Amino acid sequence: MPHLDIMRSARVARRCLDFLVVGAVILASLARAGFAADFRPDTINKGVVELETGSSAGVSVRIAEDLAALVDDGTTRRVVPIVGRTALQNLWDLALLRGVDMAIIQTDVLDTVREQRLMPGLESSFTYITKLYLEEFHLLAGPDIKTAADLAHRRVNVGLRGSGSQITAQRLFALLKIPVEPVYERPEVGIDKLRHGDVAAVAMVAGKPASLMQGFGQTASLHFVPIPLDAGVIGAYVPTKLNADDYPGLVAKDQPVDTVAVGSLLAVAKLTPGSERYKNVSNFVDVFFTEFRALLEPGNQSKWKEINLAAEYPGLTRFPPAQQWLDRNSSGTKQNPQDVKKLFSRFLDTRQQVRGVPVITDQQKQELFDQFQRWQAGQAR
């Protein structure tokens, strides 16, 4: 009947009016809270830099989150993290993909690209802001694998093709002259295959303690395999250890496991000086470097404590605004002398281990460190 149609139309009209009123109230509330500007296209795109990371198995995603929290001021600066697929793909994206301003890159991936000439003109394709943290190589195996040599001709999950884990595992096994049968699955899939006996080991590069390898109970079924620290391995990687504090279910007390760590780099695309993207990254650098100490506070990724902003990466040019900041603030980027002494002591211990001779005494270390400091002072003069 006609009057029913009129009533229905009236109800629909009232609902639409109610919706508009509620919407207006919400928008007004947002405006009073200071959020209205966030929804304007000219504001939301202002100062944005896109940062491509590795997979969530490593620490780069958390590093990017910390940077985003540090830099974002709500109006003029913002970091947008992008989770990449593989380390090699990240390199291609940084060089060619529109919009990617920065990427976190494993240093041995750069070495591999150079050696295999996968990217002609690599050194001129991008610059870098700073060297970042170290990530440790984990080799997890079953009870029948006691040494890395036991993996000869066995199936080892090394991660996706082109991933940082795959490239590091390939380089390490080649240095150790251990031929393995690589399996290209994600680490979480590899661990499941290891539990079921489908692979003999899982190789993964991740900052310790890696979440994927935590939570294992005290059991003899899985354990970390030590990496032989011979001269070739130490020449390519940084020697380090996995200990019970990192992995109480996989490493016995007072029996740390030898392994190596690989460096990482915060790289920048080849941006045109004076362009908007160049200015955005320059502003990012200024905040990142100036407020760096805030990243060392509790609540941020612990790997920030390993970073020396002034550390150089041979073969690549530093992003000019980053170099200019360091030049202006050189006194604030020097390493703590005690940290230098610890690194020097670790180097001496590793050298003695490779040579197969006893570790030198603390007094001898101090004498050598004093000589090193005198030499360093002479170089500075």
Predicted local confidence at residue 378, as pLDDT = 46
Within-domain flag for 309: yes
Average pLDDT of span 241-246: 90
Same domain as 301, residue 356: no
Q: Which two tokens stand for residue 261?
A: 């760590």
How many other C-beta atoms are found inside a 10 Å radius of the C-beta of residue 1? 6
Same domain as 353, residue 274: no
Beta-strand runs (E) in 151-196: 155-157, 181-183
Confirm if 154 and 180 have CB atoms less than 8 A apart: yes
Same domain as 371, residue 289: no
Same domain as 346, residue 262: no
Coil vs helix vs strand at 91: helix
Predicted local confidence at residue 337, as pLDDT = 64
Same domain as 227, residue 342: no
- Per residue in 3-12, pLDDT (tens digit) is 445 445 555 4
Same domain as 167, residue 311: yes
| Domain that residue 265 falls in | 41-334
Q: Which two tokens stand for residue 374?
A: 């005198």
Q: In whole angstroms, what is the distance from residue 183 CA to residue 166 CA?
A: 9
Bridge partner list, 50: 80
Same domain as 114, residue 56: yes
pLDDT confidence of 354, banded at 50, 70, 90?
A: low
Confirm if 53 and 82 have CB atoms less than 8 A apart: yes
Q: Indicate the burial class of 186 (C-beta count within 10 angstroms; 0-12, 13-18, 19 or more).
A: middle
Q: Which CATH number belongs to the domain containing residue 309 in this structure?
A: 3.40.190.10
* 260 has a pLDDT exceeding 80: yes
pLDDT confidence of 253, banded at 50, 70, 90?
A: confident
Predicted local confidence at residue 15, as pLDDT = 53
Confirm if 170 and 157 have CB atoms less than 8 A apart: no
Using a pLDDT cut of 70, give the percent of the chain over it.
79
Of 25-29, 36-40, 71-75, 253-257, least confident by mean pLDDT is: 25-29
Q: In whole angstroms, what is the distance from residue 210 CA to residue 213 CA?
A: 6
pLDDT confidence of 331, banded at 50, 70, 90?
A: low
Give the residue carrying structure tokens 């059991």.
Answer: 219
Please enumerate in sequence order all residues whose Cβ is within 8 A of that of 271, keeping only pairs 6 or more positions apart, or say none.
101, 277, 278, 281
Predicted local confidence at residue 32, as pLDDT = 46
Q: Which of 110-114, 165-169, 343-347 has the highest mean pLDDT?
A: 165-169
pLDDT confidence of 315, banded at 50, 70, 90?
A: confident
Average pLDDT of span 287-316: 92
pLDDT confidence of 220, banded at 50, 70, 90?
A: low
Average pLDDT of span 204-232: 84
Predicted local confidence at residue 373, as pLDDT = 66
More confident residue, 103 or 10: 103
Predicted local confidence at residue 263, as pLDDT = 93
* 268 has a pLDDT exceeding 80: yes
Q: What integer best gives the mean pLDDT of the chain?
A: 83
Within-domain flag for 293: yes
Within-domain flag for 98: yes
Same domain as 313, residue 366: no
Give the residue carrying structure tokens 């499941």.
Answer: 192
Same domain as 99, residue 194: yes
- Per residue in 150-193, pLDDT (tens digit) is 999 999 999 999 999 999 999 999 999 999 999 999 999 999 99
Q: In whole angstroms, what is the distance from residue 379 CA to residue 351 CA?
A: 24
Within-domain flag for 229: yes
Same domain as 98, residue 63: yes
Please enumerate in sequence order all residues whose Cβ is within 8 A of that of 24, keeping only pairs 6 or more positions apart, or say none.
none
Within-domain flag for 362: yes
Same domain as 247, residue 168: yes
Average pLDDT of span 199-207: 95
Please enumerate in sequence order all residues whose Cβ is within 8 A of that of 226, keeping only pairs 6 or more positions apart, or say none.
147, 148, 257, 258, 259
Within-domain flag for 34: no
Average pLDDT of span 91-114: 91
More confident residue, 332 or 58: 58
Predicted local confidence at residue 186, as pLDDT = 93
Same domain as 268, residue 299: yes
Q: How many domains does the chain have?
A: 2
Predicted local confidence at residue 52, as pLDDT = 95
CA distances to 40, 58, 205, 358 from 211, in Å = 39, 9, 12, 36
- Per residue in 44-98, pLDDT (tens digit) is 778 899 999 988 878 899 999 999 999 998 778 899 999 988 888 988 999 888 8
Give the residue carrying structure tokens 């016995």.
Answer: 252
Predicted local confidence at residue 345, as pLDDT = 75
Q: Indicate the burial class of 127 (C-beta count within 10 angstroms; 0-12, 13-18, 19 or more).
A: buried
Predicted local confidence at residue 6, as pLDDT = 47
Of 36-45, 68-77, 258-267, least confident by mean pLDDT is: 36-45
More confident residue, 138 or 212: 138
Within-domain flag for 118: yes
pLDDT confidence of 338, banded at 50, 70, 90?
A: low
Q: In whole angstroms, what is the distance from residue 53 CA to residue 59 CA?
A: 9
Predicted local confidence at residue 214, as pLDDT = 78
Average pLDDT of span 259-279: 94
Within-domain flag for 364: yes
